[in-house]
A and B are shown apart, each in its own frame.
Chain A
Amino acid sequence: MTAPDLTVTIAKDLADLIPVFMKNRQKELETLRRALAEEDFEQLRQLGHRMKGVGHSYGFAQVSEIGQRIEDRARGSDRGAIDACISEYADYLSKVQVVYE
């Protein structure tokens, strides 16, 4: 895995949507952790799929990328790999910087 770009450039007209978007990602992180603890791989797959769809749409390619991996690993019920993805996601969300243009 290459180091993700921690600076994301977002179109100005989406600026007011970003705080809600980021808050929802934090909630998502909690839901992922809970689902993993319960070993609910179907929910993990769905959450990953959703991340994949919404992340890049807003400009957060990394969110989509991690989501894609969670979706794939959930299909294989790969607990360890998903755990690693969730940690990576938490780390990314804590460091990402948004620039508007």
Chain B
Amino acid sequence: MSERAGGPGAPPAPVPFRVLVVDDDADMVAFLARMLQAEGMIVESASNGESALSQVTAAAPDLVLLDVMMPGASGFDVCRQLKDHEATALIPVVLVTALEDSESRVRGIEAGADDFLSKPVKREELIARVKTLRRLHETRKELESRRLAAEVQRKDAIRKAFSRYISPRLADRIADAAGEQGDPFQGRAQRTSLVALFADLRGFTRLTEKTEVGAVVGMLNEYFAVLTEAAYQHDGTIFNMAGDSLLVGFNVPFPQPDAAERAWRTALEMVGRFAPVALAWRKRHGLDLGVGVGICAGDAIIGNVGSAHYASYTIIGNPVNTAARLMQMAAAGEVLVCGPVYERIRHLVTGRSVEGRGDVTLRGRLEPIPVYAVQATAGVAA
């Protein structure tokens, strides 16, 4: 191949444009290469279909100039294979066929060729066709990169919006799952099986009475930082934060077959992580506070609830209400769970103090439900 990348006076190519010339005739390759190089293009060559395919796979060119009649894989075969694979389908292919060979043109069209060039090759025709395809290819590339940039921006916005409610891992999944249309949560209200976890601060009322406002907000921030960290650690989604209570959902918005186990580990982590904070507060403010948790599983509605002006992505239903009641009943460092959740986490709480509270009729519920109180001793990982 020639040592020069363009004749004297040839316009410099702003973006390198790589052409793979495939022909079993070395003279033909040399001729085509010379023409293309004079236009500032970078030329590589292959003398048969098989090596052409492996060269394209190794480093995709911007255009393939492909002879039809070759021993082994024909130009049609190579073209078809390139067009059949997603990674190479967009590379323009120019089939070089004998003049007035209409049969070859038809077969070439069937194989997905982008354009044709007649042999013997006329210099002007070659340059005109390649230049046209180059422009087309560059436009397509630019559009694609613009589309990608917009896509990345949109996903980034979704990720940012949701990362305040859910773990970064979940935010990534939501952004990736989001289709071409904007809001991935629009019209998505649905009934689903989930595990709800409610946590709050035992002794919070006393805290607000005895501590000045500025300090309360700082302490609450410290407390919520600990709780959200614990929730994200186990891919829980935060649905509500009110006063000193936090509502975390599992198995939503994405399925988690081990939702109950995740909820338990989250509760354990909340109690554990809060222990040193509680210790510091006791020293500083003389207050004795701890985290109480309620967990319940069941069917609930998930979706955007509200009006056009104000909506919140939330979960509504029995398991949420029950988890709230259980939380109210829980002492500091205690996790109260409903029967089905206890069955799922039984193997994780061996060695811990577990107290069956029997069937409890909770406020607002007609049927009594079995309740278990599990001691979440700080610092012990299940």
Contact = CB atoms under 8 A, between A and B. Distances in A.
Given A14-B34, A46-B69, A64-B120, A54 B28 contact: yes
A42 B121 CA distance: 24
A17 interface: yes
A13 B33 CA distance: 12
Contact of B34 (A17, A24, A64): A17
Contact of A14 (B31, B96, B119): B31
A11 B31 CA distance: 11
Describe A's contact surface by its main secondary structure: helix
Contact of A24 (B27, B96, B120): B27
Contacts of A55: 120
A50 B87 CA distance: 32
A53 B34 contact: no
Interface residues of B, number: 16
Interface string B99-140: 000000000000000000001110100000000000000000
A24 B31 contact: no
A53 B7 CA distance: 25
B119 A20 contact: no
Interface residues of A, number: 18
Contacts of B27: 17, 20-21, 24, 54, 58
Interface in A42-78: 46, 49-50, 52-58, 64
B38 A57 contact: no
Contacts of A49: 69, 98
A87 B235 CA distance: 84
Contacts of A24: 26-27
Given A13-B38, A17-B34, A52-B120, A57 B28 contact: yes
Most buried by A among B7, B25, B119, B123: B119
Contacts of B121: 53, 57
B30 interface: yes
A54 B34 contact: no
Nearest to A59: B120
A53 B38 contact: no
Interface in A3-31: 11, 13-14, 17, 20-21, 24
Contacts of B123: 11
Interface of A: 11, 13-14, 17, 20-21, 24, 46, 49-50, 52-58, 64
24 contacts: A13-B34, A14-B31, A14-B34, A17-B27, A17-B30, A17-B31, A17-B34, A20-B30, A21-B27, A24-B26, A46-B69, A49-B69, A49-B98, A50-B69, A52-B98, A53-B98, A53-B119, A53-B121, A54-B28, A54-B119, A57-B28, A57-B120, A58-B27, A64-B120
Give the 3 A-B residue pairs with the shortest CB-CB distance, closest first. Answer: A56-B120, A53-B119, A57-B120
Given A11-B123, A57-B28, A57-B121, 17 more contacts: A13-B34, A13-B38, A17-B27, A17-B30, A20-B26, A24-B27, A49-B69, A53-B25, A53-B28, A53-B96, A53-B98, A53-B119, A54-B28, A54-B31, A54-B119, A54-B120, A58-B27
